[in-house]
Amino acid sequence: MLAGWGSAAALIMISVTSPLWRHLPKLVFIQLPWRWLLCLNAALAVLLTVAIPRWALRFLAVAVLLGAVVVAGYRIQPPWWDTSADIAEMRDAITDGVGYEGTDEYVPAGADPYELKKDVPPVTASYHENKPPEVLQWGPVDKHFVVHTDGVERFTLRLFNYPAWEATVNGRRVTIETTEVTGQMALTLMPGTSDVHIHFGRTRDRSLGALASLLALSVFIGVWIKAKPSPDHGNPNP
């Protein structure tokens, strides 16, 4: 099983598998074939443990591999992105609620992240309003705020409108709009008090991915149980 997994991970990094990269769903989003080295390392770690039963030799092998990584990182290919200063700046931006600048391929189609304004509040009115929105929750999966308006008002959220977002106003599901250029989420609310809940739901591709992972785990457990020797293995019959 490990040999098959390792062989497949190695094969997918060779140019002969280019048709698979072009036609298999979602494989193109990996972008770089050598990222399959991560999967190859999983097989290497398990096979290394099986091949070296003594702990002293295991520690020696781990030290050699770690040393190779350190030497390669500082002498052959030093990091060119996300240095310690970049990580600290990103941490501060998240802590302050400003957000950080990501990469273009991770924003919704048609959105331009460079046109975003980072100094705006989570919810803003497009026209006018009597009272500012009352933000009760602003987590990564759930958003909750309340607004009071005298007329029809369009509110823009500091949030990209990904397909998985779901919105309910006063307990009723509503249609989410998308702003031009920036691709942000927008809601048109009726006069009165609006209790708005935004939830990041589960789309079909996420459900299929979870099912595939569950099936893979079931196969792994089944093979492990079948390959496990019985307690009386090797003992003479009574």
Residues 135 and 45: their CA atoms lie apart, in Å, by 47
- Does any domain span residue 102? no
- Does any domain span residue 196? yes
Tell me which of 35, 65, 80 is where a domain ends.
80
- Does any domain span residue 222? no
What band does 237 get if pLDDT is binned at 50, 70 and 90?
low
Residues 32, 113, single domain; the answer is no
- Does any domain span residue 174? yes
Residues 10, 54, single domain; the answer is yes
What band does 232 get if pLDDT is binned at 50, 70 and 90?
low
Residues 62, 22, single domain; the answer is yes
Domain that holds residue 177: 108-200
Number of domains in the chain: 2
Residues 75, 125, single domain; the answer is no
> Could you tell me which residues come within 8 angstroms of residue 205 by beta carbon, excluding any fewer than 6 positions away?
26
The least confident of 24-33, 84-93, 196-205, 226-235 is 226-235
Confirm if 197 and 142 have CB atoms less than 8 A apart. yes
- Does any domain span residue 91? no
Residues 117, 64, single domain; the answer is no
Q: H-helix or E-strand containing 182?
A: none
Residues 45, 124, single domain; the answer is no
The pTM (predicted TM-score) of the whole model is 0.64
Distances (CA, A) of 163 to 24, 63, 223: 22, 45, 37
**Cα pseudo-dihedral 127, 129, 134, 135, rounded to 10:** 0
Residues 119, 40, single domain; the answer is no
Instruction: Answer whether residue 129 shows pLDDT above 70.
Output: no
The predicted pLDDT at position 147 comes to 93
Concatenated DSSP letters for 29-49? GG--GGGGHHHHHHHHHHHHH
Residues 137 and 159: their CA atoms lie apart, in Å, by 14
The predicted pLDDT at position 95 comes to 82
CB count in 10 Å sphere of residue 160: 19
- Does any domain span residue 135? yes
- Does any domain span residue 87? no
The predicted pLDDT at position 104 comes to 78
**168, 159, 166: which is closest to 186 by C-alpha?**
159
Torsional class of 85: left (φ above 0), alpha (ψ -120 to 50), beta (otherwise):
alpha
Residues 123, 190, single domain; the answer is yes
Residue-wise pLDDT for 62-116, tens only, equals: 899 899 988 888 887 776 666 778 888 888 888 887 777 777 778 888 888 888 8
> Could you tell me which residues come within 8 angstroms of residue 186 by beta carbon, excluding any fewer than 6 positions away?
126, 154, 155, 156, 157, 161, 176, 177, 178, 179
Distances (CA, A) of 88 to 77, 79, 92, 131, 140: 22, 16, 6, 36, 20
Q: H-helix or E-strand containing 124?
A: strand 123-125
- Range 132-147 average pLDDT: 93
User: 3-class SS at 108?
Assistant: coil
Instruction: Answer whether residue 31 shows pLDDT above 90.
Output: no
Instruction: Answer whether residue 236 shows pLDDT above 70.
Output: no
Tell me which of 44, 62, 80 is where a domain ends.
80
Residues 121, 65, single domain; the answer is no
Residues 115, 65, single domain; the answer is no
The CATH code of the domain that includes 141 is: 2.60.220
Instruction: Answer whether residue 234 shows pLDDT above 70.
Output: no
- Does any domain span residue 180? yes
| E strands, 139-191, in order | 142-149, 153-160, 165-169, 172-174, 177-178, 184-189
